[in-house]
Copies of this chain bind each other. A is one copy, B any other.
Amino acid sequence: MQSGPRTPRERTTYHHGALREALLDGAREMLAERGVEGFSLSALARRLGVSTAAPYRHFADRDALLDALCVEGYALFGAALERAGRTADDPRALLHALGVAYLTFAREHPAVFGVMFAERGDAVIDAGAPTFEPLVDAVVAAQDVGALPAGTDPRVLSRTIWASLHGLAVLSRQRGFVKLRIDDDDEALVRDALALLLR
């Protein structure tokens, strides 16, 4: 009756007891260890000491499990952004904190981050919607103090800043900046980007 095991673990009970959570936990681990390409439902079931058909009692298919992980990821991501935002008072510092949190999340959960922003169903996209609200709020605050042009649609500004952060996250995650022969940390990446974006 114990909960999700982490290594190929033999069960005494016929029912696992908490397979759904164990699948999510295990999938998260396997994703972190092997990446999306190396993620296999069969291997996951094996690791949990359960038959390869068992996961289908909890998820329609492999993609549904990944979708669930995405939704979970968006919640984590949104929480991280919101937490980071609370420490800052100045709108510039706020945007900086959000940016660093953005890159940090991408660096700490590279596989989940990758899956979250890969081609997924509409349900996943909808789940992601609230995640980025802190960013829009911060942009509006920055407009109020003149750090961003007041006359422009805040959604347009948010989109640009979001894209900049996202691009930094994606490119640094896959060592894209190696091509420019600079290898700065998240802090510097965000600082330099905001130096250009804000006034």
Which A residues have a C-beta under 8 Å from some C-beta of B? 35, 37, 114, 117-119, 125, 128-129, 131-132, 136, 148-149, 152, 155-168, 170-171, 174-182, 189, 192-193, 195-197, 199
Contacts and interface: CB of A to CB of B under 8 A. Distances in A.
Contacts of A132: 179-180
A163 B167 contact: yes
Contact of A193 (B129, B163, B181): B163
A136 B180 contact: yes
Q: Which 5 A-B pairs rank lowest in CB-CB distance, beginning with the nearest?
A: A167-B167, A163-B167, A166-B167, A164-B164, A163-B168
Contacts of A189: 159, 163
A159 B178 contact: no
Nearest to A172: B163
A158 B180 contact: yes
Contacts of A196: 148-149, 157, 160-161, 197
Nearest to A130: B179
B128 A174 contact: no
